[in-house]
Amino acid sequence: MENKRYLINFLILLPLIYLFLKIFEFEISRYLAVIVGLILNAYYFDNIIIYNKTLFSIIPACTCSFEMSLFLAYVFATPKTPMKYKLIYSSFGILVINLINILRIILILKNAHLTNYSLIHDMISFIIFPTVLILNIIWVRILIKVGIVKNIKINLIDK
């Protein structure tokens, strides 16, 4: 029953959180352009960065709003967990996702001169999903450690 409740909570929260974050995507992309521009000492305006005489646009898809939505829905859907834990861990996770995203954008810009920009972009962008997966695994480990979730071992082989 608890698994069904979690799944229902997750499936309700995911689109709600995503639609909420979607409202702020352009503003987030502008902040990302400012931060990356300052780190790289590059010219930036609005959501545009000029790096190595090349114009880059930080579009709403660059904000990782979907990945943040997955992470937040995963954490907030967890039943029988105090809101304090959810808020603290969510803040930590959002910070980590944004720091990794800034690193991702910097790596893309620094390697944009290589032969196939799309391939470079996609390969470097892949680091976001494993980051969210690792954060979710850490969340479960924390819940096991504090005793909210029981450490259940699943036998895949029938006895």
Report the domain count for the chain: 1
Residue 151 has what pLDDT? 65
Residue 155 lies in a domain: no
Residue 4 has what pLDDT? 83
Residue 153 lies in a domain: no
Choose, from 5, 30, 104, 141, the residue flagged as catalytic. 104
**Residue matched to tokens 């450690």:** 145
Residue 63 lies in a domain: yes
Residue 157 has what pLDDT? 57
Whether the per-residue pLDDT at 159 is higher than 50: the answer is no
**Strands annotated E in 8-130:** 43-45, 48-51, 54-57
Residue 24 lies in a domain: yes
Residue 151 lies in a domain: no
Residue 2 has what pLDDT? 65
Residue 52 lies in a domain: yes
Residue 32 lies in domain: 1-146
pLDDT digit string, tens, across residues 94-150: 999 999 999 999 999 999 888 788 888 889 989 999 999 999 999 999 999 998 877
Q: Is 104 a catalytic residue?
A: yes
Residue 99 lies in a domain: yes
Residue 28 has what pLDDT? 96
Choose, from 5, 30, 62, 141, the residue flagged as catalytic. 62
